[in-house]
Chain A
Amino acid sequence: MDNNSFLQNRFILSELVKKGIRLKYRRSYLGIIWSLLEPLLTMIVLTIVFGTLMGQDSHTFPVYILCGRLLYGCFSQSTTAALKSIRANSSMIKKVYVPKYLYPVSSIFFNYIIFLISLIVLVAVSLVMGVFPTLYVFQAVVPLFILMLLCIGCGMILSTIGVFFRDMEYLWNVFLMLIMYTCAIFYMPDRLLDSSFGWVLKYNPLYCIISNFRSAIFGELMDMNLMLYSLVFSVVSIILGVYMFKKNEDKFILHI
């Protein structure tokens, strides 16, 4: 166990990730299809409410919504799973030794992989709505990578807090709602950006990521300021998260 612990940890990580993906949809009839169907259905609802009813009738609006909704979904699901990961695996942690960071990291990875699969929906909807890929689409890799970093950073921080404070789950739900409304998922950000409250969006790293991802999909150059800000934010969150986690991980077992 001690000789090649890196390889071994990778094996445990892949087993935990596989477990997460397999079990997430095991008890439903449609299985993994749900990860495609669910964002598609919410997109339809959001398009009807914020598009048709509010008078936003651009035919690319569903694509616009779907981009934001998928990336926000990835963030909210993976951070929530990471927040609960230590408690959810408490029976294992109490009995066998596994490096503890594998629990939050694996729950982020499996949600991220499910998210990548769900991007198929975006491809399909884009083509149907007439948003065809340009060379700029390759830019999408950058915000997607930063999104993963952000999820890991926030996930590590949350998983540490979640061990000591059970009610963090509920607080985080409220916080997620705040993040959702300041991500411009289902509205055009222009008016807000021009107002004196523009900072609400600009300082939200998830908005920066979503905005750059949309640029890639709609064939525009991404905004370097937003990219840098979200990258720095994510890296700092990882450093903070790893520090908090490492400092407290030996105490976890006394609190679960």
Chain B
Amino acid sequence: MSEEVLKVENVGMKFNLNKEKVDSLKEYVIKLLRRELQYNEFWALKDISFTLEKGDRLGILGLNGAGKSTLLKVIAGVFRPTEGTVERKGVLAPLIELGAGFDMQYTGKENIYLYGAVLGYSRKFIDSRIDEIIAFSELKDFIDVPLKNYSSGMKARLGFAIATIVEPDMIILDEVLSVGDAKFKKKSEKKLLDMLDTGVTVLFVSHNLAQVKKICNKAIILEKGKIVAKGNVEEVAKKYEEMTG
């Protein structure tokens, strides 16, 4: 059980916060000539280092704007870190921003292939699991309807069903997934807990301390982009309680 599956080393993420966003050639030239081009640098993450072994469940705590979501996106590969490295092994199921690859004009079925491809599934895999995905999302009657006619709950259900069809080695969870109505919520929570039981590595972001304690064995606290505490979940949770008063 001592196999390292995630290694985050000295990761820093810098954003340029322009006072006004310059995104046209005209503005750019004018500002360049007037020497008004200025960038305010802002480090959303700085010196983040930690490693996870197979089966670790890491809770990420922190106030709004502490850099939690940015960290998840760096780990998922959406952001390339400005400095430092992220090494990752195995299949990742990013349960953040479900349905990010959806196209509203596309039907449910077409979106399953599109989103599946984006998530890294092969065509064969989707072919073999498509019935299961449709069944789990309970959208059989709507699967050939363009997504723009779906309710937001239906879209979320479809996204959840596609993202959780794999047997991942690592899952990234952002907040509590409140997907669909009460019935589907129960079903999705059960599915998640089943996935957790298979010994996957978990990264879990939440404000809900009770939930983090229940799910995770390790935790870190982020404050202004830096790790201020890390270690056993009980200790870190205590610290977080003190911090938030």
Contact = CB atoms under 8 A, between A and B. Distances in A.
A94 B73 CA distance: 9
A253 B110 contact: no
Q: B interface, how many residues as a size bin?
A: 20 to 34
Interface in A200-254: 250, 253-254
Contacts, number: 73
Given A23-B105, A96-B100, A171 B25 contact: yes
Interface in B206-238: none
Interface in B103-126: 103, 105-106, 110, 113-114, 117-120, 122-123
Contacts of B91: 1
A207 to B, nearest CB: 27
Given A91-B100, A96-B119, A97-B77, A22 B110 contact: yes
Contact of B92 (A1, A22, A164): A1
Nearest to A92: B101
A27 B76 CA distance: 35
B30 to A, nearest CB: 12
B105 to A, nearest CB: 5
Contact of A92 (B25, B76, B118): B118
B198 interface: no
Contact of B103 (A23, A93, A164): A23
A191 to B, nearest CB: 36
A11 B23 CA distance: 33
B195 to A, nearest CB: 17
B78 A164 contact: no
B117 A15 contact: yes
A19 B103 contact: yes
Interface residues of A, number: 31
Interface in A65-110: 91-98
A12 interface: yes
A128 B77 CA distance: 55
A15 B114 contact: yes
A42 interface: no
A11 B123 contact: yes
Interface in A1-51: 1-2, 7-8, 11-12, 15-16, 19, 22-23, 26-27
Contact of B120 (A1, A95, A250): A1
Given A11-B123, A96-B94, A254-B15, A19 B24 contact: no
B78 A11 contact: no
A19 B114 contact: yes
26 contacts: A1-B91, A8-B122, A11-B117, A12-B118, A15-B113, A23-B103, A23-B105, A23-B106, A91-B100, A92-B100, A92-B118, A94-B100, A95-B73, A95-B78, A95-B96, A95-B100, A98-B101, A98-B118, A164-B23, A164-B28, A165-B23, A165-B28, A166-B23, A166-B24, A253-B79, A254-B15
Given A11-B117, A23-B103, A95-B78, 11 more contacts: A8-B120, A11-B123, A15-B113, A15-B114, A95-B100, A96-B100, A165-B23, A165-B28, A250-B80, A254-B15, A254-B16
Interface of B: 15-16, 23-26, 28, 73, 76-80, 88, 91-92, 94, 96-97, 100-101, 103, 105-106, 110, 113-114, 117-120, 122-123
